[in-house]
Structure 1
Amino acid sequence: MPKSSNFKIFQSEPILKNYFKIALRNLTKNKLHSGINLIGLTLGLGVSILIFFFVQFELNFDDFHQDRDTVFRLERLEKSDGEGGRSYSTPVLTASTFKSEFAQVTHATQLISASAQAYLDESTTQNQEYMMVSPDFFEIFSFELLEGEKSQVLKDKFSVALTETVAKKYFGDANPFGKSIRLKMGNNFEEYQVTGLLADIPANSSIEFEILMNNLNMDYSISNESQTSWYNVYGDTYIKTTNSEAKYAIEAGVEGMMKKALGTDYKEGGYLFSLQPMADIHLSDDPNSGMAETTRPSLLWILTGIAFLILLIACINFTTMAIGRATTRAKEVGVRKTMGAEFGQLVFQFLTEAFLITISALILGLLLAEALLPTFNDLFEKQLELVYGPVQVLILVGLLLGITAMAGAYPAFFMSSLRPIQVLKGTLSIRFGKQALRKGLVAFQFFISFLLIASTLIMVNQMNAIRNFDLGFDQEMVVLVDVPEVPSTSFTTSINAGFAQAELYRQALTARSEVKSAGITISTYGDNAFWNGGFPTEDGKQFKFRLNFVGGDYVKTMGLELAEGRELNPLPGSDSSAVLINETFAKAMKWDDPLGELLPSVRINPHQIVGVVKDFHHNSLYNAIEPVILAKNPEIIFSGINMLMISSATNPKVIVKGTGTDFEAFRAMLEEEWKRVFPLEAFSFSFMDEAVESQYRADERLGKMVFLAAGIAILIAAMGLLAMAALSIAGRTKEIGIRKVLGASSLSISWMFNKEFLYITLIGVLVALPLSWYLMQDWIAQFAVKDWPSWISFLVLALAGIGFTLAIVSAQSFRATQMNPVKTLKDE
């Protein structure tokens, strides 16, 4: 008969069943260690499942589009005076030009978002967003069309497609197909027939809209001249190609296309386009590069790393406690080997125990993930659902097998390799102080925990500095009220008409005692909120600046300070040739006396600089302060610039500073005056401080996630330390009894154990703190304003770690010293 293999595990089903029985018996017998492992793995898996599902969701953005691999968004590249700029806003004629110039382009569409007043019922209107596209839209994208034919949905100028949610808002539960919706386009309300009903936009879509209409409606808001200009940009352009490799041939031909289009105005490399694959749109470091909020790729790497670190800490607990229990399980191994158990059978037995713990933790982790999902979605402002499709099931199976192997493999092989003779003779020594591996694992736990805590400290300190930084303007009790846009093919006319409407409301508010001051503004606060402008100087160079059109008491309401000169006159029609600049603008022009200078554009209309405001942060604190122009009359600026990029809303806002602190009464007053001035228009407002806070949401979320991870890591590490200290002390009870009989004090015995654990804690802390400072440099470098924690903060953190260890170990060792030595020595 051939000799059986050393890795023969079982010969029949009853034996396999027996393995599970023994595993369950051992787990229930050691409730403390099993409970710690179960809780640690449950916490780790609950958070990790959420993170892994979230990462998978983010990586698969836009994957519902059937031909996503052949869909590209155009990126506009401009170069002037050796400086390059890029934007996803493109000229109107880009789509048609690419479609006609390149045989590889099968379909193309421009996506231009706008808003208009819409009748909600016979007497009420509200602001309604819509998007203008070409009929090619449905040939490029795979948004689900519930009713209507793709070729007929946008067949003419007055056809629209609604999403389900919007349709229900206007028509209730009735079928909207064939019905009409009234939108204010230009000066009149127009009837639009519903020719398409769309399913609501998927949560993982980088293109968002509520109503689609034919781009023939651009005539209401964009002049014919602008529609045929390569220097006026509106919205994004998407193209669909014959195959994914066509990108390279098209990009190679772009320069020739632009030479033909611009003629003598073309400068080599000065105005080009590149193709961005649709799969790359959502994952971007630029928060303003898409309709939907983008996600920084680094965030996914960080979150994935956090998930693995938390799981690793839980697995280390499992491993260290399994090895720590070697002395109690060694005789079991010795007896079973003597009775004929083979190495492979013992390995399988211990892995079975690890598997049972892991699968129990996985089930509880799924329940925990479901419970945490609403909080997670609120934190990241997502609509993540825990859907268990093939990919998600694969992730769960991978976690189950991976953790079973990672947590149980070493203990299984270690225990199964013990020699029966050595075990049964009692010569096996597995004291804590002699186990370098266990020491290393516990030190690594503390290293991970304090790395996360130190990183949290750095992030919290930086975000507090950002939150408390003086931006140079007032944001407390400042409210922004949206005024309806007045569409016009003339941009200047549209702005002036909007300001005239806003002025009516502003004057009504200034008569109220609850209002300290009120102004009008096009832009508010945030990255790219102020428009980008540029003009040619006398030496032929391009000067770039930020632009905002203002009215009323803008400077006073915003709390801006004047360095020189005066404010703009709040009366309508006054100061039509006056502008304000900031200090950075004056420095860039190298002006000692800015009030005596003119904007150095070769084309600008007559004007005068009447004041210089002290520098203020119009962008978030990720960016340095740029040159800024504030003007009342758009004609002055538009006459002199050759570059304008608008990335924010074009409708004016009335900015109101209140006198009191009762916001509910203040809001009621604002709405009361609104209904008096605009009885048919919907009232909409926002807070200036919310606009400021919104710029840092991504990093605030990351900070909260790291803080949560640090808390879980500390909790798991604390449970592990508690169990390890208990195991170490339990294995040396006779030694403690002898020392007490010989006169040792409880304090000296407690210090004996504390020394071993403090040494490990110090290693983890001393490695983690400098490494966290090094790793967080890239994160903190993104801010224009930086603030590192003081060395005292790190010292306090290190002392807290030492105190944390002392408290846990001392509690365990003190309890052991209170035992009667007679009880621990009686069997000797």
Structure 2
Amino acid sequence: MFKNYFKIALRNLSKSKLHTGINLIGLTLGLGVSILIFFFVQFESSFDNFHEDGERIFRVERHEKGEEEMFSGFSTPIITAPTFAAEFPQVTHTTRMIGSSAQAYLDEATTQTQKFLTVSPDFLEIFSFKLLQGTKEQALQDKFGVVITEETAKRYFGDANPMGKSIRIQMGDDYQEYQVTGLLEDLPANSSIKFEMLVNDQNLDFSVDKRNQESWYNVYGDTYVKLNEAQSKATVEAGVEPMMKKVLGEDYKEGEYLFTLQPIAEMHLTDNPDSGMVESTRPTLLWILAGIAFLILLIACINFTTMAIGRSTTRAKEVGVRKTMGADFGQLVIQFLTEAFLITIAALVLGVVLAEVLLPTFNELFDKKLDLVYGPSQILILFGLVLTITALAGAYPAFFMSSLRPIRVLKGNLSIRFGKQGLRKGLVAFQFFISFMLIASTLIMVHQMNAIREYDLGFDQEMIVVVDVPDVPGTSFKKSIKEGFAQAEIYRQALVGRSEVISAGISIATYGDDSFWDGGFPTPEDKQFNFRLNFVGGDYVKTLGLEIVQGRDLNAQSGSDSSAVLINETFAKAMGWADATAELLPSKKIDNHEIVGVVKDFNHNSLYKEIEPVILAKNPDVVFSGINTLMIHSATNPKVLVKGAGTDFDAFRALLESEWERVFPMEAFSFNFLDETVQKQYVADERLGKMVFLAACIAILIAAMGLFAMAALSIAGRTKEIGIRKVLGASSWSISWMFNKEFLIITIAGVVVALPLSLYFMQGWLEQFAVKDWPSWVNFLLLAIGGIVFTISVISAQSYRATQMNPVETLKDE
């Protein structure tokens, strides 16, 4: 019986090659893109699920009360891990996780910057990273032992067994020998925690003094705990406030400084811009992409449904004959669903091929390493897609066609315009609505991102190269910064005065990457004032083209202006100062200092955030003496900002590299462009815009094929009417307008509904930007006109062909 269903379905599909082809192409495009998106959503949702005791692993989140609100973050004091272990019997394991980097010898003559995580010995007991050699209990016990991944081992030792071999890493003032005590399999692609090397947290002695290691007000990296059972989370959180009272005594104010536990299953998918040291994805992105996939599939399914209804005239007699011969309602439903199933299966095979072809482009677009592995979860997704599409595309035609009465259809009373014209028009209008909504959304996103790119950030970013100066390890921030600046000044002096260089400055932080440090001090009124902080040197202001609106610039000479600071306009406004150069920073403790100038506001951060008060200082002693909070967002090693002259970048780079080799002969040279750093912050939204644009193009293509097929069906069903009208003297133009009018109403209805809805939905996306810009109404008008012209072009081409037919040919079979 089922064999017969398949035979008849294949025969019917092969008879209508045009409509079968359009359905197949539409579903293939929809499935190809949807498979990629749904697999991507499934991959992103699977992050960190490979940890065996994942439900018992938590990341510690810090909550600290500011002047008016609570601030949260995942950077925690170093002392957090041992304190939790000592105070809560429910905590079975704890680990710190602090990201660092240092110079390491790749071979006898070459060094490179090696990134690593400083962790506690329990790290491998908490997380289920696969250890190929070594033991979890012993791998991280030794202060001078390191655990490395396979990829890192290959970089240092080639194909040789790395166990027991040594790597020389600069810790403190000297290079130390670290022995490989564990080899890890390369990390799973769905791990939020990324690293190349693990070192024991006893090495913090090289970079953090004992006072800061025991301070509750200085934060470094993340803290993780593993509980005896998941339900203990509430008990531990309830005990945090008593713990803080115990460790801080009279300094603790209830509710102003505490910790909560975040399940690791919630780490990766978060809208929180502060995701700590883990890789994260916004869940809204997944919802948007899943919505796009669903809309594209829906358009393809609508094509199938509308064409099935449009072909009712030709299929109705078939239904009538089969019912007369004894076929019942259920058998006919199965027959029509079989046709939908066969097209869907064929489209699925082609869609998988298309997804594999598009995979490299997709991975490049979203900077992912997605691999289309067809495991149980993926097979379930594909099976679900087949059933869903078969139901969406085939259910209505199957039930509608199977319910036709034989006596009516065999008498020839059925017309293409019978009973379901409104539904058919509605479905086509819905296709246009989805297409125009995606196009309008793309227009808004492209316009906004162009506005971001062209926005005046208040500083110059063209032809500025950022060169990282080597770290100067030490347990004192101030000492590391000062010695790092001294090294950077030697390199800067080697560049200034050269014809290839306009100017050069020194900075701890760069721009647009949230690298300005957070600081705060108590005012005489016992209020907390928070600001952003950067330590600078050389011709910093000149190099970046910052504008001094009051006072003067900092002296470029090393050692001068050691008590001077610059502030921005927002800082002066927050303090209510008319002449900031006559004022002092209103901290209770800041040592002798002088505000020598005010710079015009510039966007030190991304355009997602408002401009904040900023202090620029040459000497860290001035600021550190009076602040009570400090959050470090970047490495303590300075960067030399070099503005090049002319357009000969090869000569410019050759100069930078040659002087580097002279000043730092043992260190690897690396640089990046400031404008690229600035643009990186918008990569996620740029990618989303490209994805929406791609979806809009596919939606338009599928909708265009549907419109073409529907116009062909509509005209085919009215060829006799066209012939009669021509015999009676109707012009080709009037006949063409008759068909255009019908579809233009549908197009205009789709545009009218789509434009305001796209504005409504995109408002939420635009709200994330501190700087936002809507497209002009002219853009939307042109979009609407473009849609109307597109419809007229497709329908006119079809109707013109019909009007050229000889009326004798269309009327003679009557």
TM-score range, shorter chain: over 0.9
The Cα shift of 1:428 comes to 1.4
- 2:448 paired residue number: 462
Q: Distance in 1 between matches of 2:654 and 2:424?
A: 65
Q: Distance in 1 between matches of 2:229 and 2:208?
A: 33
Q: Which amino acid aligns with 1:754?
A: N
Report whether the alignment pairs 1:523 with 2:512. Answer: no
SS for the counterpart of 1:776 is helix
- 2:337 paired residue number: 351
Report whether the alignment pairs 1:472 with 2:468. Answer: no
Figure out how many residues of one structure are paired with residues of the other and give that number: 814
Q: Distance in 2 between matches of 1:517 and 1:128?
A: 30
Contact 1:566–1:611 (CA<8 Å) still a contact in 2? yes
- 2:755 paired residue number: 769
Q: Which amino acid aligns with 1:226?
A: N
Deviations 1:503-524 (Å, cap 9, x if unpaired)? Answer: 1111111132111110111000
Report whether the alignment pairs 1:84 with 2:70. Answer: yes
- 1:3 paired residue number: none
Contact 2:116–2:199 (CA<8 Å) still a contact in 1? yes
Partner of residue 252 from structure 2, selected from 253, 266, 271: 266
Q: Distance in 1 between matches of 2:645 and 2:285?
A: 41
- 1:4 paired residue number: none
SS for the counterpart of 1:161 is strand
The Cα shift of 1:665 comes to 2.8
Q: Distance in 1 between matches of 2:481 and 2:378?
A: 51
The Cα shift of 1:28 comes to 1.1
Contact 1:319–1:408 (CA<8 Å) still a contact in 2? yes
The Cα shift of 1:526 comes to 2.3
The Cα shift of 1:333 comes to 1.1
SS for the counterpart of 1:341 is coil
Q: Distance in 2 between matches of 1:300 and 1:432?
A: 42
Partner of residue 612 from structure 2, selected from 622, 626, 634: 626
SS for the counterpart of 2:504 is strand
Q: Distance in 2 between matches of 1:548 and 1:748?
A: 73
- 1:11 paired residue number: none
- 1:105 paired residue number: 91
Contact 1:287–1:294 (CA<8 Å) still a contact in 2? no
| Identity level (%) | 74
Q: Distance in 2 between matches of 1:491 and 1:391?
A: 49
Contact 1:287–1:293 (CA<8 Å) still a contact in 2? no
- 1:128 paired residue number: 114
Report whether the alignment pairs 1:372 with 2:358. Answer: yes
Partner of residue 303 from structure 2, selected from 310, 317, 322: 317
Q: Distance in 2 between matches of 1:739 and 1:664?
A: 74
Contact 1:582–1:612 (CA<8 Å) still a contact in 2? yes
Contact 2:304–2:394 (CA<8 Å) still a contact in 1? yes
Q: Distance in 1 between matches of 2:67 and 2:324?
A: 85
Deviations 1:458-511 (Å, cap 9, x if unpaired)? Answer: 111111111110000011111100111111111100111111111111111113
SS for the counterpart of 2:295 is helix
SS for the counterpart of 2:143 is coil
Q: Distance in 1 between matches of 2:647 and 2:419?
A: 63
Q: Distance in 1 between matches of 2:259 and 2:385?
A: 44
Q: Distance in 2 between matches of 1:333 and 1:438?
A: 20
Partner of residue 755 from structure 1, selected from 730, 741, 744: 741
- 1:333 paired residue number: 319
Report whether the alignment pairs 1:453 with 2:439. Answer: yes
Q: Distance in 2 between matches of 1:17 and 1:471?
A: 69
**What are the within-5 Å matches in structure 2 for residues 245-260 of structure 1?**
245-260=231-246
SS for the counterpart of 2:239 is helix
Partner of residue 96 from structure 1, selected from 82, 101, 105: 82
Structure 1: stretches of 5+ with no match in the other structure: 1-14
What TM-score does the superposition give when structure 1 sets the normalisation length? 0.97
Q: Which amino acid aligns with 2:210?
A: N
- 1:187 paired residue number: 173
Contact 1:282–1:290 (CA<8 Å) still a contact in 2? no
Q: Which amino acid aligns with 1:268?
A: E
- 1:148 paired residue number: 134
SS for the counterpart of 1:799 is helix
Q: Distance in 1 between matches of 2:67 and 2:295?
A: 48
Partner of residue 163 from structure 1, selected from 139, 144, 149: 149
Contact 1:432–1:438 (CA<8 Å) still a contact in 2? no
Q: Distance in 2 between matches of 1:339 and 1:83?
A: 77
Contact 2:131–2:182 (CA<8 Å) still a contact in 1? yes
Partner of residue 556 from structure 1, selected from 527, 538, 542: 542
The Cα shift of 1:432 comes to 7.3
Contact 1:40–1:314 (CA<8 Å) still a contact in 2? yes
Q: Distance in 2 between matches of 1:313 and 1:530?
A: 47
**What are the within-5 Å matches in structure 2 for residues 660-679 of structure 1?**
660-679=646-665
Q: Distance in 2 between matches of 1:770 and 1:671?
A: 55
Q: Distance in 2 between matches of 1:642 and 1:81?
A: 13
Q: Which amino acid aligns with 1:644?
A: L
Partner of residue 125 from structure 2, selected from 139, 144, 155: 139
- 1:534 paired residue number: 520
- 1:789 paired residue number: 775
- 1:439 paired residue number: 425
Say which is worse superposed, 321-330 or 15-24, in terms of deviation.
Answer: 15-24
The Cα shift of 1:744 comes to 0.6
Deviations 1:121-166 (Å, cap 9, x if unpaired)? Answer: 1111111111111101011101111110111101211000011111
The Cα shift of 1:272 comes to 0.5
- 1:197 paired residue number: 183
SS for the counterpart of 1:640 is coil
Contact 1:288–1:294 (CA<8 Å) still a contact in 2? no
The Cα shift of 1:565 comes to 1.1
Partner of residue 612 from structure 1, selected from 567, 592, 598: 598
Report whether the alignment pairs 1:220 with 2:206. Answer: yes
Partner of residue 723 from structure 1, selected from 702, 709, 713: 709
The Cα shift of 1:651 comes to 1.5
- 1:493 paired residue number: 479
SS for the counterpart of 2:558 is coil
Report whether the alignment pairs 1:26 with 2:12. Answer: yes
Q: Distance in 2 between matches of 1:204 and 1:563?
A: 50
Q: Distance in 2 between matches of 1:27 and 1:824?
A: 26
Q: Distance in 2 between matches of 1:158 and 1:30?
A: 74
Q: Which runs of 4+ in 1 moved over 4 A?
A: none
**What are the within-5 Å matches in structure 2 for residues 350-429 of structure 1?**
350-429=336-415
The Cα shift of 1:167 comes to 0.7
Q: Distance in 1 between matches of 2:28 and 2:212?
A: 60
Q: Distance in 1 between matches of 2:265 and 2:157?
A: 35
Structure 2: stretches of 5+ with no match in the other structure: none
Deviations 1:797-824 (Å, cap 9, x if unpaired)? Answer: 1111111110100100011101111111
Q: Distance in 1 between matches of 2:220 and 2:23?
A: 57
> Residues 323, 775 of structure 1: CA spacing in aligned structure 2 closer, same or farther, 3 A cutoff?
same
- 1:12 paired residue number: none
Q: Distance in 2 between matches of 1:588 and 1:411?
A: 67
Q: Distance in 1 between matches of 2:809 and 2:416?
A: 23
> Residues 434, 137 of structure 1: CA spacing in aligned structure 2 closer, same or farther, 3 A cutoff?
closer
Q: Distance in 2 between matches of 1:361 and 1:428?
A: 32
Partner of residue 698 from structure 1, selected from 676, 684, 694: 684
Contact 2:99–2:277 (CA<8 Å) still a contact in 1? no
Partner of residue 277 from structure 1, selected from 263, 266, 278: 263
The Cα shift of 1:81 comes to 2.9
> Residues 433, 331 of structure 1: CA spacing in aligned structure 2 closer, same or farther, 3 A cutoff?
closer
- 1:800 paired residue number: 786
What TM-score does the superposition give when structure 2 sets the normalisation length? 0.99
Q: Distance in 1 between matches of 2:651 and 2:808?
A: 76
Q: Distance in 2 between matches of 1:523 and 1:348?
A: 67
Contact 1:187–1:486 (CA<8 Å) still a contact in 2? yes
